[in-house]
Structure 1
Amino acid sequence: MAEKEPEVPNELSESLNDLFISLSSMVKYELQGTNNILELLDKMNVRVGEEYKEFGDVAFGSTVESF
Structure 2
Amino acid sequence: MSVSAPTIQASLNNHELGSRYARRLKLESQACQHEVELTPEQVAWIETANPLFSRAACGEQSAR
Identify the structure with the greater helix proportion: 1
Q: State the TM-score, normalizing by the size of structure 2.
A: 0.25
**Structure with greater contact order relative to length (CA < 8 Å, sep ≥ 6):** 2
Q: State the TM-score, normalizing by the size of structure 1.
A: 0.24
- Give 1 or 2 for the bigger CA radius of gyration: 1
